Amino acid sequence: MKIFQQYLEVRKQSEQMCAPLVTEDYLLQPAFFTSPPKWNLGHTSWFFEEMILTKFSKDYKPFHPKYSFIFNSYYNTVGERVGRDQRGDLSRPTVEEVYQYRKYVDEHMEEFIKKKKPGDDIHALIVLGLNHEQQHQELFFTDLKFAFSINPLFPAYAINAFCESKETQAPAMIRMDEGVFETGYNGDGFCFDNELGRHKVYLHPFEISNKLVTNGEFLDFIESGGYNRHDLWHDEGWAWIKDNQIEKPLYWQKEQGKWYQYTLAGLRKLNPDDILTHITYYEAFAFAQWKNLRLPTEFEWEAASDKFNWGLRWEWTESAYLPYPGYNKAEGAVGEYNGKFMVNQKVLRGGSVVTPKGHARKTYRNFFHPQMAWQFNGIRLAK
């Protein structure tokens, strides 16, 4: 069965990603916005158990009565849960027990899929669960990188693990004429509900860069005093860098006059030709101001996306994360997936080097608070 083969491939990938880890790595959670690898493995299994097996598989018995409390993330419909900032505090269940849990859920999902022959609604839930797990595969790398970065040993996940790639394109601006463009998902495949509500938008003439900003370009911003010029920053961004003493991007450090950057391959000398990454919206906005340019809106980005390469960085846009016209939030826990986060966040488009293959599309709407930088995000300029 095609759907079960897809299920096995995604589930296997999550475990293969953990192969370089040692037991101690599975419990790391240095910040509230990161999750330990062990929790991610359990949570993605809980999703299938809670959303599918307990509801649609007759006589299914949950692996453990407390796992719903431990591995629920933010679903109020499902019930109480461990605090987000406390996921790394739990030494039990053990790593071995979490892998047993995954095996248990996989065995029951196989039996369910082969016997039940899921209808359209349940099939859609399984596909949602697989895309949900792929999101957590991306979070595995971003969360692990943040955890490793605060270790003075600067451990490497792997020798050639998503090192920041060089930007080789000559800079150019792509001209887009004014007009009415359609935005939003249109097709028969999978998309998240926040991509639905395809609608028309009118765009004035604009230009958008064919390339992403590099380390060297951002280094010029730093050395010109960009972090000390209040006129470049939103008031909220200015308060954020002052309150947190921010003077450089996440994972950059300067030693004896030389710049270095932590990567999943360890601490390395900063390469000015590499594509900038791990940057906040506040920093992206200030940099654009410094260049006398701006960030594109998500609608401009989507309208022009066929004219440039994308997928190496999540790209900050100037758009607030809001529902499209006609957006309807689903009933129950599934309705909590996207809709309740549509406030105080910015849309990012594109995907990144740690986005699973085939997971991203040009209508995909990622979203984060403007001070968050731990994702592999970057800057594309417009005017």
- Which one is predicted more confidently, 78 or 117? 78
User: Looking at the whole model, is its pTM more than 0.85?
Assistant: yes
57-116 pLDDT per residue, tens: 989 999 999 999 999 999 988 899 999 999 999 999 999 999 999 999 999 999 999 887
The 10 Å Cβ neighbour count of residue 79 is 11
Which residues have a Cβ under 8 Å from the Cβ of 269 and sit 6 or more positions away?
A: 258, 259, 260, 261
Residue 304, pLDDT score: 98
338-378 pLDDT per residue, tens: 889 999 999 999 999 999 999 999 999 999 999 999 999 99
What does the buried/exposed string (b/e) look like for 159-171 if buried means 16 or more CB atoms within 10 Å of the residue's CB?
eebbbbeebeeee
265-315 pLDDT per residue, tens: 999 999 999 999 999 999 999 999 999 999 999 999 999 999 999 999 999
Tokens of 41: 């493995």
CB 70 within 8 A of CB 79: no
Phi-psi domain of 257 (left: phi exceeds 0; alpha: psi -120 through 50; beta: other) = left
State yes or no: pLDDT of 163 exceeds 80: no
Q: Please state, rounded to an integer, the average pLDDT across all residues of the chain.
A: 95
CA–CA distance, 115 with 226 (Å, rounded to integer): 62
Domains of the chain: 2-149 (1.20.120), 173-378 (3.90.1580.10)
